[in-house]
Structure 1
Amino acid sequence: MARKVNELGSLQGEVTRYDKASVTRWIQGMTPKGKSPQFVAEAISGFLGRPVSPVDLGFPQQARGPVAARALTYREDVGETLHTLAELGSTDISRRSLLGTVPFVASALVDPQRQWLLWLLEDEQAPHLAAVTEGGPVDQVKAVIDMFDLMDNRFGGREVRASIVHYLSTQLAPMLQQRTLPSNQRRTLHIYAAKLAATAGWCSYDSADYGLAERYVIQALRLCAEGGDRVLGGQILAGMSHLATSLGNPAEGVALARAGIATARSAGSPLGLMRLHTMAARGHAVLGASRQATTSLLAAGGALDRSRGPAEESPWVRFLDHHYLEAEAALVHRDLEEAAEAERLATASVEANSDRRRRQAISRSVLATALLQQNRLDEAVGTAGSALELLGGVHSERSVQALRDFRARLLPRRSEAVVRDFERKARPVLGASAA
């Protein structure tokens, strides 16, 4: 129990050293500090297979802004969603202290997933590839989305996040609340708002604001249903799956990926389906389910083969290609301890992404782990050092997470000089080690 709580905290940047004596104190009535009550609840939820809140366990209700709680809910009334999103964004930008460091709550992803699947079953008239209206505010918003995507790719999510949230909460959400908008424009703008909310979530993840990331993507999924875009909906579910798996909830990550696969099968988007199968493989690999992970990777490759190229796909998935699949598959093989295959794929990803520093840093970290798994310590540390240098020009929590994973694997060899030297260089970027 204590080990699981420590693991969940570490995944959200919290270093704790709880032991069995700590668990005894909690049973006796002591409340752990900070976000730890949420981690305790998440651990017990995993053991029981059902959601449990800190209050259910007898911990006092933690002070939290009302919007932080409401933003975890997928609401039927899209007007309430827009209001929640505008308030969340405004609080995020101008009154951040009211939000505090809201935690990621894995159990909160269950209901949005269920609501989306119900919408998918009930709305049989939803188009496979959503038609996008052009002209007026639609063109302006599309141009803004393109600009934000470019900035995110070049500089990382941390640098662009505030601008996205400000535009979404002060410009686009109020625009959608106007009753004079033509219905076809309103539908397209709901899709664009969903895209921006999902991007705000992804950028929040890149800033290590995991709780905010979760809240933005939940609201994004609801807006996407209003716009009826199944391709984008599948991609939002893929992002949710990535978030859940990366934060220690791989079973939920697999469930979210499967919901996305059910969405994408009827969406006419093989590239979108490829990403979702890959996310399922990621979750299976963390769970140690080798057969299921391999099956999912094969399905991802099959979907990629069926794609007729980016020009024939939705704009939301045109960034996906065989290089993306290589990079993610390397992570799968890393987690399955299949070091030679992880090395091959990570090397290919490093060579293919010379102009993308974030992807370079992640793939070099995975390559370093693959080398370490083959007892090639000096090569591994040298490769990780090059990944560390890349982080000087781009702020990306995903890249930091990959390097932290490598550093954690070095612990059995921490007495060696090359490891101690790497730890010293990495500490300013990765923070203190949990060891």
Structure 2
Amino acid sequence: MNRQPNGPLRELIRESGLSYEEVAREVRAVAAESGDSTIHTSKSNVAYWVRGTPPRAQTAQYLREALARRLGRSVSSGDIGLTVLDDDSAPVDLGLTVEGDPVETLRRLGRADIERRSFLTTAAYSVAAAALPLGAADDAHARTRRALRGGVAGEQEIRAVQDMVAMFTAIDERHGGQHGRSAVVQYLTSDVAGLCRARFRTARQHDDMLSVAASLAYLAGWKAYDAGETGLAQRYYLQAYALTTEAGDLPHQAFNLRILAHHGMLSGRPDHVLQLADAALARARGRVDPVTESVFVICRARALAAEGRYGTALAEADRARALAERPGTADAMTGWASMWGAASATVASHTAKLHERVGDHPRAERHYARARQRYGGTEHRRIASLSAAAEGHAQCRQGRIEAACATWGQALDGMAGIRSARTVKAVGAMRSALAPLAARGARPARELDERARLWLRAST
């Protein structure tokens, strides 16, 4: 069958200034970033696409993202001459929006997640979508109010969902993101989605339900991220933001903007990160207590460092620490912010990462140790163990091998029974650092490496 040349794709590649070989390389890079090792695009493949042979649906997503990053704007399926659906009901862009009805979007997103649809499980992080909240109108709350339907709900239903969110979050922190993941998504897309469109006794109660639903949507995204599914996590985070926008909850909006900023940094895509962090801090300032404000300030510090502004970043970290440790506050965070650990622990952990980035390993070690101490004895077992793993790397980089092995051993102890792609990655990094030491015959390194090997075999 003769196919028509794909003119839109040819013109877009020409506009990008990339050669076919460079396009292929960028497509492979986006795929690898998404955890997809099955993509081996070559310049010949790109030539076939331009001649009219369409790529697979998943490859088309990576192609769009690669071109969008180069062009600095969103690229749709139509822009590359394709109409790509995962099937008749699920567009591949599902969830990459902050407009429309976030409840209905979450229903469809959750259903596709539970079915483990490939267009989500290997979805790429979208740089263009990261900027969507920055363009949201301030009066979105007024524009997105909808008629409520169904039975009458009230404070009891809100408290019940809050209790469920707290329980799911505690399980996530103690046992890892893959415990109860499908239960969280199912509960979000059935019970909670229904309550978001129920008829409440007051408009305030409806807004409170939307806000607690946003916390659950964020948790679903966090679980996706903890499984290494970065693109899917971003879609849940965007819908969490959309729910807080519909609720008119500015502090909670700020928290979700902070989440989106950190997600960009964790994904290795600093585009828009500082703008998101600035927007988060602007909405939080004056609306939250000083302790809660500290987590927004330390987010901005990390975003400044991502742009190479290290001096300003370290000054912001000092300001965050002063806010988090004000006398008499005792980590008095409230509501949605308090479920993810003490502010002083969060600030210490992110401050350690700043010092690590500039190569100041003694200070990084001290702040990781402080974070581990603050997380220790709480339900936040995963992050305490990850802090210990990072502390061990800081010790190793100073040549303190025995101390590093002891700290890494404590990290492995804490990771027992945790199901998380992040802990697997941390133990893999631990083994990489131990390899040259074990090869030189260092007994503590050999023994710990064997423990780590057995842990990885049991966990994967």
Counterpart of 1:370 in structure 2 is 394
What residue in structure 2 maps to residue 327 of structure 1? Answer: 349
Report the equivalent of 2:329: 309
**Which residue number corresponds to residue 249 of structure 1?**
269
Q: Indicate if the aligned counterparts of 2:125 and 2:230 stay in contact, CA closer than 8 A.
A: no
Residue 9 and residue 99 in structure 1: after superposition, are their counterparts in 2 closer, same or farther (change >3 A)? Answer: closer
- Cα deviation for residue 313 of structure 1 reads 4.5
Q: Which amino acid aligns with 1:183?
A: A
Partner SS state of residue 180, structure 2? helix
Alignment partner, residue 162 of structure 1: 182
Tell me the equivalent position of 1:283: 303
- Shift of the 52–365 alpha-carbon distance from structure 1 to 2, 3 Å rule, reads farther
Would you say 1:82 and 2:103 are equivalent positions?
A: yes
1:29 to partner: Cα distance: 4.3
1:173 paired residue number: 193
Change (3 A) 1:233 1:412: farther
Aligned to 2:93: 69
CA contact (8 A) 2:371 2:384 kept: yes
Taking the aligned partners of 1:422 and 1:54, their CA distance within structure 2 comes to: 49
Aligned residue type for 2:423: S
Alignment of 1:10-409 (within 5 A): 11-14=33-36, 24-25=43-44, 28-29=47-48, 38=61, 42=65, 45-52=68-75, 61=84, 63=86, 66=90, 69-75=93-99, 77=100, 80-93=101-114, 95-97=115-117, 101-116=121-136, 118-119=137-138, 135-179=155-199, 182-305=202-325, 309=329, 313-318=333-338, 319-355=341-377, 356-377=380-401, 379-380=403-404, 383-404=407-428
Q: Mark the structure with the bigger radius of gyration.
A: 2
Normalising to structure 1: TM-score of the pair?
0.79
Higher RCO structure (Cα 8 Å, ≥6 apart)? 1
**Secondary structure of the structure 1 residue equivalent to 2:138:** helix
SS at match of 2:237: helix
C-alpha distance 99-53 of structure 1, shift in aligned 2 (>3 A): closer
Distance 1:328 1:6, change over 3 A: farther
The offset of 1:249, in angstroms, is 0.7
CA distance in 2: counterparts of 1:427 and 1:16, whole angstroms: 26
Q: Is the 8 A contact 1:148 1:160 kept in 2?
A: yes
Q: Report the counterpart of residue 128 of structure 1 in structure 2.
A: none
Task: Name the stretch that deviates more: 38-47 or 322-331.
Answer: 38-47
Q: Percent identity?
A: 26
> Scaled by the length of structure 2, what TM-score is found?
0.75
| Deviation of the 1:326 alpha carbon | 1.0
Measured after TM superposition, the shift of residue 168 of structure 1 is 1.4
Deviation at 1:136, TM superposition (A): 3.1
| 8 A Cα contact 2:324 2:331, kept in partner | no
3-state SS of paired residue (1:267): coil
Matched length: 414
Does the aligned pair in 1 maintain the 2:325–2:344 contact within 8 Å? no
Distance, in Å, in 2 between the alignment partners of 1:152 and 1:370 is: 27
For residues 349 and 10 of structure 1, the distance between their equivalents in structure 2, rounded to whole angstroms, comes to: 31
